[in-house]
Chain A
Amino acid sequence: MKLTYILLLLVAAVCGGAKEVSPSVAIVQPEDKSRYVGEGSTFVIDATFKEADTIVIKQDNNITTTLKVKPEKNTYCKTIKLKAGVNMVSVSLYKDAKLVNKSDRELYFLSELFEGVNEEDAENYKLRFFHKDEKEKKCTSCHNMKSNIPTNNEALEDVTKTTCYACHGGMINTKNTHAPAANWLCTDCHNGNFGEYNMQDKGASKYLVADPVAKTCGSCHDTVDGWQNSKFGHGPVNDGRCERCHDPHQSNVKMLLKTDSINELCMKCHDRKSTFGSKAKKLFVDMSLEVKHKAIVEKSCLECHEAHTANHKSLLKLDAKMDLCLNCHDDEKEKITHSKFKHGGVNTSQKRCLECHDPHATKNKKLLKKEPVATCLNCHDKEVRSDEDGGMLMNMKKHFDENPNWHKPIKDPKKGCSACHDPHGSDNFSILRKSFTKNFYANLENKDFFCFECHSEKKITKQFIKSNEHNITSFRDGEVNLHHLHVNDRKGRSCRACHDEHASKYSHLIRDYTDFNGVKFPLRFVETPEGGSCAPACHKEFAYDRVNPKGIGK
C-alpha cells in the first residue's frame, strides 16, 4: 500500500516535471498584478545568450521595446512607460528570430488624477516596492546600490554622479523641475518614512515617502502651514496630497502641474464625465458646452477660484453671488448698484448673479442657465412682488401660455425679454431699456418712446397714408391713419391702451382687455380681411376698412 502511494507520487512528479520542459521567461521585476503610482515600470529580466539573443517587451498599446542579449550579461533591465489603468505587457525571448519563450505581466497604473481608471479595479492590484536588500542584490553586478545622495543639504555638483541617476535619470528631462529632484537630493523626501496613509507599507522600501506628502512639502513650503487658518480647503489639500496636482519631480509647465494647463488639471476631476463622480456631483462643470465663460477660456479657472484654500465657498476668491462677478464686470456693477429701478432677480435674490447665469459654460448666450425667456420665467411663472413699487407683477408664464401670439423680440431666441427689459437694472420703470409710459393717456408727440426703436414713427405721425405707403400701417380706414387718430389728439392714448406688449390671443397684439381706472374693459376687436372693428370702453363699435372706407375721422 505504501509502495503504490510512493509510486503514484513519483508518476505525479514526473508528469508535473514534464510541464516545466520550457520554463517561462524569468521576469525578476515586476511581479504580476502590481500597482503603480508613477508611470514608469522597470522590468528586470533574466536571460542567457545560450538561450536567447533578443528580448522583446511588448505593451498592449503596441509600444515595443527590444533588448539585445549579450554573452557577458545574464540580467537586463528596462523602464517602460505605463498608461493609466490596466497594462498588459508581454516579454518574449527570441533565438534566431524564433520565439523560444514568453511571459506576461498585468500591471495597473493608478494615476493620481484618476484618468480613465477606476479605484475599485485598482484594488485588485498590489503596490509593491523594489528597494529592498534582497531585490537589490540582482542589480549589484552592474549598479552601485548604495546611496551616495548627500544628506548635508549640499547637492552634488555633477548630479549624474549620484547612484540614483543611473536608473532614474530619465525622470528629470524637462524645463520645469523641482529643485530637490533636479539636484538629486532624493532622500530629502524619499527618506523611508511612512505617514498616516501608508503605515501598512512601513519598511517595504528603503526610500519610502510619507503619505500624505504635505508635511514633507511643508518642510520647505511655508505656505502649507498658512492654509490651516482658511475656512475652506480643496479636497487634495485637505487630504495633504499635494502630489495629486503637482509632480514633485518635473513638469512641462510652471508650478510643476501634472497636466499642460491649469484648466486641464482641474477638469481631470471636475469634468462631468470624470470618474470623480461618486465624490461630489455638485462640483462638476460641463465645459464641453458651447458658450464658455471668457475668464476661464482666456485665462484659467484660477481667475475666480483658489487652488488651495479660500474663505469663500467653492474656493472662490470673493463672495460668489455677486462681488466676484462684479470685480470684472464693472459696467453691470454700475447698473446693478446705481440704477433707479433694480431687478429683484439680481439685487435681492438668493443666488444673485447665479440665479440666471452659470459661471462656467452653458448652451445659451450670455452664459444663461436656460434660454432667455425660460430664464425669466424661472421666477416669473407666478405673481411676484415688484421691487419697484411693491405691487404684484403678473404671472408671465401663464400669460404666454394662454396667449399664443408673442411680441416678436420675445420670440427671438437671441433676445427674449431682454430685448426690452434690462435684467441688471434701469432708470426706466419696469427696468425697460428706454422710456415708456405706464399711463393709458400719453400724447406721443415729442416723446422718445421705446416702441419706436423698432416701429416706424410714421405709424403715428402721418395723418393720411397714401397708396404707396401702405407698409406704414394697416390700421387705416381708407387713407385715414387710425393710429394717428388715436394717438395724436389732446388726449392721445399710449400704445399700451390697445396693444399688449407681451402676448395676445389676437393679431397685432391687440389686448383682450384694457385697464381703465381699475376696470378691465374688453376691446372686442374683430378682424376682417380688409379691416376690422373695435368696441372698447372709449367708443361704440367702430369699423374700419382699408379698401372701402367707413368714414372714420372725417
Chain B
Amino acid sequence: MKLLRLCLRVALLLCVSTLGISADEKSIEVIAPMENHLQSELTLNVVAKIDKKSVDALKITTALEQINIDIKSQRETECKNISLRLGENRVVIRAYKNGVLVDEKTRDVYVSSQLYHQFKYPPQKYGKNYFHTDTNEKSCAECHDMRVNEIEGVAFVDVTKSNCYGCHKNITKEKYAHAPAANWLCTGCHNKKNQSKYIAPEPVNQSCLECHEENKELWSSAKYTHEPLDSGDCNRCHNPHSSPHKMFIRKPVNEICMGCHKDKDIQTQQIKNSACSGNSNGELCTNCHTPHASNQPFFLKKTAKKAVK
C-alpha cells in the first residue's frame, strides 16, 4: 500500500516536470525552512521571496494541510506559519500565475521528539538550521520590526506588542503556557548569540533552574535522580512554551513515560484495576513514581512497603 502511494507520487512528479516547468526559472526562493531542516516544535514559518511578475498565488502543502495564498501586496517576501507532525514532513511550495503552475520548491523538515523512540533519532540528512541571522532578517524587515523590544524584568501588558509575537504566536497557543513564554519574555532563555541571535543554551536546565530554584535544592539532595534530570534536558518532557497538558508536559503522563519505558507498557496493561490504573486524568505512573528525584528506589514516592499498603 505504502509502496503504491510512493509510486503514484513519483509518477505525478514526472508528469509535472514534463508539462514544462523549467528548473532555471526562479519565481520563488525559499528562505525558510532550509533544506533538510530539523526542529522540535510542531509549528514552522515558511518564508519565501516571490517574483511578483510571474507569481500571483502560492500553495503550501503538507501532509496535514494545504494553504492557499493570493498574492495581492507588493512586498517581496511572503511568510506563513504552518503546522507539522512528528517525524518527516514534506513541505511543498507551489507558485501559480493565472492558475498555471510556474514554480515548485520542496523542503523536507523533521520534527524530532525525545519522547518517542521512533522520532528520537532523525535520519542523518537532517540538521539544525537557524533563521535569526542578519542576512535572513533583512528579508523580513520590510514588514516586521526585527528588533527586540522586551524590557528586562517587566512583561508586556499587551503581549501582541512583542516583536517576537507576530511570527511565533502559535508556540503559546496551547491551554497551558509557561509564564515567560506566554508573557513573551523570550530573551530570558534565548539569551546566547551564536549561529543565531537567540540561541537557548543547552542543556536547558541552566535556564530553568534560574527560576525554579527550589527544585534545584530539592533534587540535589535526593539519592536517586531521573536520567533526563541528570542530563539537564528538562525540555525533553516539558515544553518550555505551551502544552495542552498541565506542567507543560509534552504528552499525557503515561505516554511520556512509555516513550522510553516501553517494556512497562505491556506490564501496566496486565495490572489493570490496581493502583496503577490511575485516576481520571490518566496519571498512572506518577501515582506511585515521582518523575524527577527520590530517596526511594525506582523513584517511588514512599517506601515500597507503604505503597503496597
Judge if B177 is at the interface, Cβ distance under 8 Å: yes
Q: How far is the CB of B265 from the nearest CB of chain A, in Å? A: 29
Q: Are A521 and B155 in contact (CB under 8 A)?
A: yes
A522 contact from B156, B176, B211, Cβ within 8 A:
B156
Q: Are B157 and A540 in contact (CB under 8 A)?
A: no
Q: Which residues of B contact A516 (CB under 8 A)?
A: 179
Q: How far is the CA of A287 from the CA of B175 in the complex (A)?
A: 68
Q: Are B157 and A522 in contact (CB under 8 A)?
A: yes
B185 contact from A513, A519, A524, A540, Cβ within 8 A:
A519
With known contacts A537-B182, A540-B175, A540-B182, A517–B156 Cβ distance under 8 A: no
B179 contact from A512, A518, A537, Cβ within 8 A:
A537
Interface residue SS majority, chain A: loop
Residue of A nearest to B177 (CB): A540
Q: Which residues of A contact B185 (CB under 8 A)?
A: 519
Q: Which residues of A contact B210 (CB under 8 A)?
A: 517
Q: Which residues of B contact A522 (CB under 8 A)?
A: 155-157, 183
Q: Are A518 and B154 in contact (CB under 8 A)?
A: no
Interface size on B, residues (CB 8 A): 17
Q: How far is the CA of A462 from the CA of B183 in the complex (A)?
A: 32
Q: Are B175 and A519 in contact (CB under 8 A)?
A: no
Q: How far is the CA of A389 from the CA of B7 in the complex (A)?
A: 74
Judge if A520 is at the interface, Cβ distance under 8 Å: yes
Q: Which residues of B contact A539 (CB under 8 A)?
A: 176-177
Proximity bits, A514-544, B CB within 8 Å = 1, else 0: 0011111110100000000000011110000
Q: Are A519 and B180 in contact (CB under 8 A)?
A: yes
With known contacts A540-B175, A540-B177, A518–B183 Cβ distance under 8 A: no
Q: How far is the CB of B271 from the nearest CB of chain A, in Å? A: 28
Proximity bits, B157-178, A CB within 8 Å = 1, else 0: 1000000000000000001110
Judge if B153 is at the interface, Cβ distance under 8 Å: yes
Q: Are A519 and B155 in contact (CB under 8 A)?
A: yes
- Which B4-38 residues have a C-beta within 8 angstroms of A? none
Q: Are A518 and B175 in contact (CB under 8 A)?
A: no
Q: How far is the CA of A517 from the CA of B179 in the complex (A)?
A: 11
Q: How far is the CB of B243 from the nearest CB of chain A, in Å? A: 12
Proximity bits, B166-205, A CB within 8 Å = 1, else 0: 0000000001110110110100100000000000000000
Q: Are A521 and B179 in contact (CB under 8 A)?
A: yes
Q: Are B157 and A519 in contact (CB under 8 A)?
A: no
Q: Are A537 and B183 in contact (CB under 8 A)?
A: yes
Q: How far is the CB of B101 from the nearest CB of chain A, in Å? A: 42
Q: How far is the CA of A460 from the CA of B177 in the complex (A)?
A: 26
Q: Which residues of A contact B176 (CB under 8 A)?
A: 539-540
Q: How far is the CB of B143 from the nearest CB of chain A, in Å? A: 27
With known contacts A537-B183, A540-B175, A540-B182, A517–B157 Cβ distance under 8 A: no
Q: How far is the CA of A519 from the CA of B185 in the complex (A)?
A: 9
Q: Which residues of B contact A540 (CB under 8 A)?
A: 175-177, 182
Q: Are A520 and B154 in contact (CB under 8 A)?
A: yes
Q: Are B153 and A518 in contact (CB under 8 A)?
A: yes
Residue of A nearest to B158 (CB): A524
Q: Which residues of B contact A519 (CB under 8 A)?
A: 153-155, 180, 183, 185, 188
Proximity bits, A229-250, B CB within 8 Å = 1, else 0: 0000000000000000000000
Q: How far is the CA of A20 from the CA of B176 in the complex (A)?
A: 118
Q: Which residues of A contact B153 (CB under 8 A)?
A: 518-520
Q: How far is the CB of B178 from the nearest CB of chain A, in Å? A: 9
Residue of A nearest to B152 (CB): A519
Residue of B nearest to A523 (CB): B157
Residue of A nearest to B173 (CB): A540
Q: Which residues of B contact A518 (CB under 8 A)?
A: 153
Q: How far is the CA of A539 from the CA of B179 in the complex (A)?
A: 7
Q: How far is the CB of A3 from the nearest CB of chain B, in Å? A: 116
Q: Which residues of A contact B213 (CB under 8 A)?
A: 517
B211 contact from A513, A517, A520, A524, Cβ within 8 A:
A517
Q: Are A538 and B179 in contact (CB under 8 A)?
A: yes
Instruction: Enumerate 5 A-B pairs (CB-CB under 8 Å) in ascending A order.
Output: A521-B183, A522-B156, A537-B155, A539-B176, A540-B176
Q: Which 9 A-B pairs have the closest CB atoms?
A: A537-B179, A517-B211, A522-B157, A520-B154, A521-B155, A519-B153, A540-B177, A521-B183, A522-B155
A residues with a Cβ closer than 8 A to B are 512-513, 516-522, 524, 537-540
Given contacts A520-B153, A537-B179, 7 further A-B contacts (CB under 8 A): A512-B157, A518-B153, A519-B153, A521-B179, A522-B156, A524-B157, A537-B183
